[in-house]
Amino acid sequence: MIAEAPSGRGGSWGKGDVILFSPNVRSAIYQVPATGGTPAPVTQFDAEKETTHRWPFFLPDGKHFLFLLRARVSGKPEVGRLMLASTDSKETQLLIDDSTNAVYVDPGYLLYGRSGNLNAWRFDVGGRRLVGQPVPLVKEKLSFWEAKNLVVLSASSSGTLVYLPEAVPKTTLQWYDSGGRALGSLGAPGFYTAPRISPDGQKLAFALFESGGTQSDLWIMDFQYERTFRLTQKSALYTFPVWSRDSARLMFTCQPKGVQDLCVRSLREGGDAELLHASPNWKTPGSFMPDGQSVLFSEQDPETNQDLKILSLGDEQKPRVVLQTPFNEDGPEASPDGRWIAYVSDEKGRLEVAIRPASGSFEQWQVSTAGGSQARWRGDGRELYFVSPDGFLMAVAIETQPVFRPGAPRKLFRLPERPERDTPVFEDVTPDGKRFLLNVPAAARSSVGFHAIVNWPSLLERRGD
């Protein structure tokens, strides 16, 4: 081990046997000898104005380097800014605005992304300045993670370029029974994310992305009247909707300042999304508490990773920590009676489903035995469902009297596609536990792979650049 990097965001090994790295989500870029030692910051991180420093990349002299800074500028939403810095100075210089991570390659170019587009920009490495204008390299979109300003690419000075093309498949929303039998689909294939069934079982909320994944809106599907309508009226980036227990409100993520914050919207009243909780850290909704007066969510912390918190919907709106450890705790789901919280933790070195009292007691029970994620309660709280890493939908009987006791996990059926972090496949269960909602990729993931270009500078020659 060379250095601690609790939530690392990139590294680069320079010719002077020095490694640059971003140890955390909200931290400066650090340098450390490749043989180990005490890391020292080489950028100055302004926590009041900036969100992150990440994706460092050494230039050939082993002293100057590129890195990605994300910040709000002149009141505009956050964008990635490609910066030039040096290991012997805290001064930085803006190179490219609205940029992703970048690499430098001979014969003197910066390769970087803007959204999912891959560009090359001639760079005078001696003078450390851009020359001319950027040139698009390939027609297809690259896989792009907006929240991290990341495109997946690597290039060598011998002329080989490798990248991951846009890999988000369309999906279909499908009903399955407890025996794994398909019962029908809901609508045409689309870029669906995080569909959730209302507690009364009459509606479905989901995020629908545009192609490329840069904007999304929340939609409501009404089973009773067989109609679908858009809930959010200003196209932005909304996702992860969760219902209040009276099926009248939704909490979800929004990004008014570029960071994933929490918003709420009533289905019974007019208006648009109302900001519920904002902070410099990224947040993910968990669930409403049954009384509707508070909500569970997870929030990223640079020192303790993902923590579980509860927020009262009163005037103060200051969240209280439910669980904070050096590990990741995520996906909190309150039981229907509000006495228990199911969540996912990586304390054991892999994701496992656990339950703890909502009262704040230190008791907890690990429910999964060989890994698990995506915990969902049945409407009566007598059963909990989750997904195993090998692709099975699992069920656990829950007893609460005379004492709390979870049963042994049992397999219900194998999912039609193996789950991944961004595509869990299993999404939700009807209140009676008889139907399971799956979000199934329309095309097999095995059809997505890296693309390679040999002698990529010849693409510039064809364009006269």
Sign of CA dihedral 141, 143, 146, 150: negative
Calculate what percentage of the chain has a pLDDT beyond 70.
94
Same domain for 157 and 232, yes or no, is no
- Residue 364 in domain: yes
Same domain for 74 and 34, yes or no, is yes
Lowest-pLDDT choice from 95-99, 277-281, 452-456: 277-281
- Residue 6 in domain: no
Same domain for 215 and 327, yes or no, is yes
- For residue 406, whether the previous peptide bond is cis, meaning omega lies within 30 degrees of 0, is no
Calculate what percentage of the chain has a pLDDT beyond 90.
66
**Full strand arrangement of the beta sheet holding 153-155:** 153-155, 160-163, 451-454
Q: Give me the pLDDT at residue 55, please.
A: 97
Distances in Å between the Cα of 268 and the Cα atoms of 187, 239, 272 are 25, 20, 12
Same domain for 270 and 406, yes or no, is yes
Same domain for 219 and 362, yes or no, is yes
- Residue 245 in domain: yes
- Residue 2 in domain: no
Same domain for 182 and 257, yes or no, is yes
Q: Are 218 and 250 in contact (CB under 8 A)?
A: yes
Same domain for 214 and 115, yes or no, is no
Q: Are 20 and 11 in contact (CB under 8 A)?
A: yes
Same domain for 182 and 73, yes or no, is no
- Residue 241 in domain: yes
CA angle 91, 93, 99 (to 5 degrees): 135
- Residue 3 in domain: no
Q: Give me the pLDDT at residue 361, please.
A: 83
What kind and span of H or E run contains 460? Answer: helix 457-462
Lowest-pLDDT choice from 271-275, 306-310, 323-327, 383-387: 271-275
pTM confidence score: 0.79
Q: Residue 185: give the domain boundaries.
A: 171-443
- Residue 162 in domain: yes
Distances in Å between the Cα of 211 and the Cα atoms of 190, 239, 335 are 9, 15, 35
Which residues sit opposite 448 in a β-bridge? none
Sign of CA dihedral 148, 149, 151, 154: negative
Here the CATH number for the domain that contains residue 141 is 2.120.10.30
Q: How many structural domains does the chain have?
A: 2
Residue 212 has pLDDT above 60, yes or no: no
Same domain for 231 and 297, yes or no, is yes
CA atoms of 257 and 71, how far apart (whole Å): 9
In 72-148, where do the E strands start and end?
Answer: 79-86, 89-97, 102-105, 109-114, 117-124, 129-130, 135-136, 144-145
pLDDT in tens, 88-109: 998 999 999 989 999 999 889 9
Q: Are 219 and 229 in contact (CB under 8 A)?
A: yes
- Written as six digits, the tokens of 63 are 């002293």
Same domain for 245 and 325, yes or no, is yes
Same domain for 276 and 379, yes or no, is yes
Residue 233 has pLDDT above 80, yes or no: no
Same domain for 369 and 304, yes or no, is yes
- Residue 36 in domain: yes
